[in-house]
Structures are given as structure tokens and as C-alpha cells.
Chains A and B, each alone.
Chain A
Amino acid sequence: MRVTFQTVNDGIAAVNTAAEQFAKAQRQVETGRRMENPSDDPAAAMRVIQGTNEIATLDAYTRANDTASSRLTVLDTVLGTIVDRLSQAQAAAAQGRGTTADTPTREALAAKLAGIRDGLVSDFNATFRGTALFAGAEVQATAYARVAGVWTYQGDASEVTVDIGRNHGATISLDGQSIAKGGDALDVFTAFDGMITAVVAADEAGMAAGMDALRRTFDRAVRAQSLVGVDMQGVDDEQRNLSSFKLANLQSVSKDRDANLAAAITEMNQADTAYRAALQAVGATAKVSLLDYL
């Protein structure tokens, strides 16, 4: 076989190949990424896109969870306060019943009941970050207000839910009327007003009717609080799931996307050695000539 001067060019091609391998490994070390272009590993590129999309979806649900969690905590607290107020009101109303209470006592009880009612109105009109908690989807409305002397619900009957996971929602705004009134003819505030009048007038039947209304409202509030509790539990469970799903996806994406730094550094060293060897080989090939010996 004749060895021609082309051998030098072949050697230069080998130098370029080694330099290219070195640069590729170096870029992997620099960027921490295994792939530079989809053609490096098309299937892995596809998996990375799907994986990062899934991670982003999980992140979106996690953010929704955080928002829902804060809001549910406030709802739970406010409902707890409502339940407490209703208990206090029932106790106060009970004191007004019978013949033992004199007029000043009844007036004092009436004042106490009015205070509890006002507190209750304030609870139902509670807001979180500027939006109402008990006005349904009318989040910018005041849930209950006295309009022309009549307690009026200004929200709507819908409940606002947010998606905290796939096929999993949490209610973040309640229909206040379903608690304050439910299936009753009058809402709890009107019932309070009637009961206050009955206490002052020692109207046993009126007080009994008012206490019944308070009891039913109490039951509805407790039921609403327990539903909020279920949602809170759901948020906690979902957060744990989201966290573990995200970890699994991160590992999968990392496997496809991130460079194995130890392997990349080793490849860089190997390419460096190959580069030097190729350079020396080219140098030796170009240097050695019969012309030197003639």
C-alpha cells in the first residue's frame, strides 16, 4: 500500500474529531446538560418536554393548593367563630326564658344578643385578600347587609372551587345564605332580631322560635366547617402527592436532560488525551520524511 501525503490530512481530520469530542464534553460540563440539540437523543428530548410540562402542571396545582390552604384556614377559623357565637347566643337566649329574669336583665341579654348578631354579621362578611368568603361567586360583594331595614343576602348561591389536583377541587368561597338561612323562612340575623324583641318582651314562643333558628344555623355552620375540614385534609393529602409526583418527574427528567458530570469529565479527559495524541501523530507524520535522510 502506498502511503501518500493525504495521510497528513487524515491526521488533521482525527485532530478535529478529538477536538470536537472535547468541546462536546466541555459543553456538557459547563452547562450541566446532556443534550445540546434534540438530534443528540430525540426520544429523550421528547420525554424531557413531557416531563417538564408535567412538573409545571404539578407546580401549578401546588400553587393552587397553597392559595386554597390559606383560604381554607381562614374559612375554618371564621366558621369556628360563627359556631362559638351561635353557642353564646343560644346560652344568652336560654337565660332570658322563664319568669326569673327581670326587665334590666332582659335588656342586658337583648344587648348581648345584639352584640353577638353584629359579630356574626361581621363574620359572614369576612374577606380574605379583598374577596368575600361567604358571598358565593359575588366575591366583591358584602355578603349580608341591612337594606331598607331588611337583612339581605348580596352574594349568590354558587360556591367557588379551585382545582388542587387532577379531578380534585377545594371550595374557597361559600354560599353564606346556605348557612345563615338554609331551608328556613328567615335568615339567622332576622331570627336574631326577632329573638331580641322576644327577650325584651318576655315572649316565650318568640324566644323558642329564635332558639330553634339558632340551633339550625349552628348545625349548618358545623356541617360547613366539617366540609372545610375535609377540604383542608384533601389539600394536605394532595400536597404530599404532588410533592412525590414532582420528585419522581424531576428524577426522570434529570436522567434524560442532565449530564453525568463524572462521565462528562472523564470523556473530556479522554478527548484531551486523544487530541494530544492526534496532534503528535500528525506532527510525527509530517516531520518524518525520507528527504531528511538523503
Chain B
Amino acid sequence: MSGLMSSLSLAARALDAQRSGLAVTGENIANLNTEGYVRRSIQLAEGQPGAGGVDVLGTRARRDVMLDARIRQELPSESRERAIAGSLGIVEAALGREGESLDARLVRFFDAFSSLAQDASSTVARDGVVQQGRLLAQSFNDIASRLDDARRGADAQIRGGVADLSRLAAQVASLNQAISATLSGDAEGLRDQQAEALKAMADLADITVLRRGDGGVDVTLGEGRAIVMGANAYALTAVDTPPTGFAAVELGGVDITNEIGRGQLSGWVDVRDTMLPGYASQLDAIAFEVVNEVNALHQGGTDLLGATGNNFFAPVGGSAGAATVMALTAAVEADSQRVAASQSGAPGDNQVAKAIAALRDARVVGGTATFADSWSQLVYRVGSDSQTAQAQQKSRQQVVEQVTILRDQVSGVSLDEEAALMMRFQRAYEANARYFSAVDDMLATLMRIVGAG
């Protein structure tokens, strides 16, 4: 009798075990589309000697810490290039299409002087020169402004990235606390969230993660600067720096902007502080040379009113910012008769107009390049930087994808596998139920015999 009762107990525990297995499978299927979810499996063990049957030891997350770490290691390089490629895509658009942007404006400007040279006394040709000069200056202004906008855009992204990184650091610290508090319980859900938060942090910057004995993690950034220590998070701040007002990334009052080597933050910083200033400087150099070269020739000429020594463009102090401030002089803007086309002062003399028109072929930028060459070099530089970033991003993305596939092979949920497990647990439950029923029948038979006796 006691044997049958223990068999009943064994069958009941077995039913519980199979039901638990089915519940784990259900949980896996439920989280099929949950980002960062690591599949769970039930751990069953043979029952204790004497009790027999099956015991549920618990559930285990199929987590591969090495692969998670590898993803965090590869991701910052990919995200850095992604950030650069994204920002430079906007810069490429800002430069306009080849043959339809500043190069076309330069062409039309020198064409206007060429037309003036064909009839130096023509007021229509003079108006054309003023109009094209104004449009050329506006074109320089527009592109300089777009480059500045792109810098401000990158700065805004840096500020957003810093805020996200601080928020994620606080989240990881909070999870650390929760994980250490539930060390004996089921903390796998919290660990999933922890892994996702760390991945998001690695997307922003090249963090270093150190595992703690209590299941938590410490996170450092740059030259080993802690941003998470157990339950404590140290917030990063974006601090305005003069004279540009752009944000420097500070941690505990220390500027760590240049310590961030990889991740989106590093890409945005590179775009804002290195690439875009370089492009703007090249644009300024072209504008500066246009202003100087045209003015030098124009000053040597005589306008229709007999005045000499006047500028065509408003003089600029230096190359820095020349594209931003480039403009016609007020006198030329107001009266096209102020355009000096003549050397001698005779209305038909076109020496100066011809000389300015010939500047289109002059190698005056850096002493080696024409204005068009210099512009094409700037376009090449932006295109080449963007292409390199895109190529690097694709190549690094493939590495991240490969590691992610490896991780998914271990941690991902397979619907077919879960379906098979579901069937397994269902059948096992049915078999155990039959066993329970058989033992119950035997007990009933025994009870009838005992009752009849």
C-alpha cells in the first residue's frame, strides 16, 4: 500500500515536472520576438534515492558570456563607422551634385566676366557680372552654413548620446542592485536586460565590462574611467565649451571627449571636430583665394565712372570663415558701373575683365590648383571619407552579424525546437498521467478487496 502511495507521489511530481517544462517552452515561445531574450531550458534530475522519479532543479538561461562580450567588443567599431557614414551622407547632400553646385556657380561667374570682356561697355553684361558675383558669394555662404549645420547636428547627436549613455549607466547600476538582491532567485530576466543595456552602451562607446561576484557588472570608459561600479552610476555630462559652444564630454569634471575611441560618440566627435572643420577650412581657402585674386585684379582696373583701386568682393581678413562672410562690396552691389573691366579707363577696354575671366584657369589655390580643381578635391575628400566609412561599416557589420548568429545559435529561440519540446513534455505528461491513473486503478482495486474482506 505504501509502495503504491509513493508511486502516486512520484507520478504527481513527474506531472509537475513536465508541466514546468511545458511552461518554460511557453515562455520561450512567448519571447520569440523579445530583443535580447535568452532562451531558457528546464533542468530536470533523477529524484533523490528512495523518492525516485524526477526533480526540477530550476531553469537555466542558455547564455554565452563570451559571445556577449565579443559582440560588445565588435559593436563599437561598427557603430563608429555607421555614425560617420550617416553624418557624411548629409554633408554629401549639402555639397550638391557635381556640375550643379559651387562649381557651376564659379563657371557662371567667370563666364559673366568673359561676356563682359566681349563688350566691356555693356550695362547688361555688367549687371550679369554683379548678379553672378552675388550668386557665387551666396553659394559659398550656403555651403559654409550647411557645413556648420552639419557640425551642429553632430554636436546635438553627441549631447543625445551622452544623455543616453548616462541613462544606460544608471539602468545597469539599478539592475546590478536588483540582480545581487535576487541572487538566489531567478534573475535571468534581469540579466537579459543587463546584457541589452550593455550592448546599447557599447553601441555608443567602447566600454569595458568587468563581471562582479554578485552577478552585477562594473563598466569603465576611455582610460579606465568607471561609469558604473556596482549599484553606483557616474553620470556623463555634455558641457558647453567656448568659443563654439560645442559639447565636451565630461565625467566627474574631467574632459574625456578624446578618450572615447570607438562607438557612435567617437564617430560624431570625429565628424564634428576633425572632418567637418577640415572641409570648411578647404571651402574657406577657395573663397579666400576667389576674393583675393578677383580683388587684386579689380583694384588695378578702372570702373565706368573713372574710379580705380576698388574691390569687387568685400575684403576678408583671413582664410578662416571666408566662405561664410563672402559678399560683394556695397558699391558694386549698388551700381554695376562700379565693376572695373578696363585697365585704361576707356569704356571699351576689357583688359581687367579678360584677366578676371582667365582666373578660371589660374592655379592660385595653394599655388597648384584652380578653383574648380580645389572644389573637386573637396568633393573627392568628402566622397572618399564617406565611402571609406560605408565600406568599413559594412565589413564590421558582417563581423557583428556573424558573432550575433553564433550567439543566436546558443541563445536564440528555435520555434521548431520549442514545438518538439512542447510535444515531448505533452507526451511525457500524458504518459505520467496514465501511470498515475494505473496506480490509482490499482489502489482502487486494492481498496475494493479490502472493503469486501
**Pick the contact of B99 from A48, A156, A166, A291 — CB < 8 Å?**
A48
> Looking at chain B, what size class is its interface with the partner chain?
35 or more
Q: Which of B350-390 contact A (CB under 8 A)?
A: 350, 354, 357-358, 360-361, 370, 372-373, 375-377, 379-384, 386-387, 390
Query: Is A100 located at the chain interface by the 8 A CB criterion?
Result: no
Residue contact B348 to A46, C-beta cutoff 8 Å: no
Residue contact B103 to A49, C-beta cutoff 8 Å: yes
Residue contact A46 to B376, C-beta cutoff 8 Å: yes
Separation in Å of the B449 CB from the closest CB of chain A? 42
Contacts of B107 in A (CB 8 A): 52-53, 56-57, 60
Q: Which residue of B lies closest to A129 (CB)?
A: B119
Bound state CA distance, A67 and B118, in angstroms?
7
Query: Is B346 located at the chain interface by the 8 A CB criterion?
Result: yes
Residue contact B110 to A49, C-beta cutoff 8 Å: no
Query: Is A96 located at the chain interface by the 8 A CB criterion?
Result: no
Query: Is B95 located at the chain interface by the 8 A CB criterion?
Result: yes
Question: Apart from A156-B346, A290-B416, A291-B415, what 15 extra A-B contacts exist at CB < 8 Å?
Answer: A2-B409, A2-B410, A6-B408, A38-B383, A38-B386, A39-B384, A39-B387, A42-B387, A46-B377, A48-B99, A50-B372, A52-B103, A52-B107, A136-B348, A137-B348
Residue contact A140 to B347, C-beta cutoff 8 Å: yes
**Pick the contact of B32 from A5, A52, A135 — CB < 8 Å?**
A5
Per-residue contact bits, chain B 199-216, to A (CB 8 Å; 1 contact, 0 not): 000000000000000000
Per-residue contact bits, chain B 320-348, to A (CB 8 Å; 1 contact, 0 not): 00000000000000000000001010111
Per-residue contact bits, chain A 1-22, to B (CB 8 Å; 1 contact, 0 not): 1111110001000000000000
Bound state CA distance, A172 and B33, in angstroms?
80
Separation in Å of the B185 CB from the closest CB of chain A? 27
Q: Which of A144-176 contact B (CB under 8 A)?
A: 156, 158, 160-163, 166, 172-173
Residue contact B412 to A2, C-beta cutoff 8 Å: yes
Contacts of A63 in B (CB 8 A): 111, 114-115, 118
Per-residue contact bits, chain B 96-125, to A (CB 8 Å; 1 contact, 0 not): 001100011011001100110111110000
Contacts of B348 in A (CB 8 A): 131-132, 135-140, 160, 173
Residue contact A136 to B346, C-beta cutoff 8 Å: yes
Residue contact A131 to B114, C-beta cutoff 8 Å: no
Query: Is B414 located at the chain interface by the 8 A CB criterion?
Result: yes
Query: Is A262 located at the chain interface by the 8 A CB criterion?
Result: no
Residue contact B346 to A45, C-beta cutoff 8 Å: no
**Pick the contact of A166 from B104, B361, B381, B390 — CB < 8 Å?**
B361
Given contacts A37-B92, A56-B107, A160-B348, contact A49 B415 (CB under 8 A): no
Given contacts A42-B383, A129-B119, contact A49 B412 (CB under 8 A): no
Could you list some 15 contacts between A and B, CB below 8 A? A4-B408, A6-B412, A38-B98, A38-B380, A38-B386, A45-B383, A46-B379, A49-B99, A53-B103, A57-B110, A67-B119, A139-B347, A140-B121, A158-B349, A253-B99
Q: Which residue of A lies closest to B387 (CB)?
A: A39
Residue contact A39 to B92, C-beta cutoff 8 Å: yes
- Which 9 A-B pairs have CB atoms at the shortest separation, nearest pair first? A38-B383, A139-B348, A4-B412, A42-B383, A137-B346, A39-B386, A49-B376, A53-B372, A52-B99
Contacts of B92 in A (CB 8 A): 37-39
Residue contact A37 to B414, C-beta cutoff 8 Å: no
Residue contact A64 to B387, C-beta cutoff 8 Å: no
Query: Is A99 located at the chain interface by the 8 A CB criterion?
Result: no
Q: Which of A29-82 contact B (CB under 8 A)?
A: 35, 37-43, 45-50, 52-53, 56-57, 59-60, 63-64, 67-68
Separation in Å of the A174 CB from the closest CB of chain B? 11
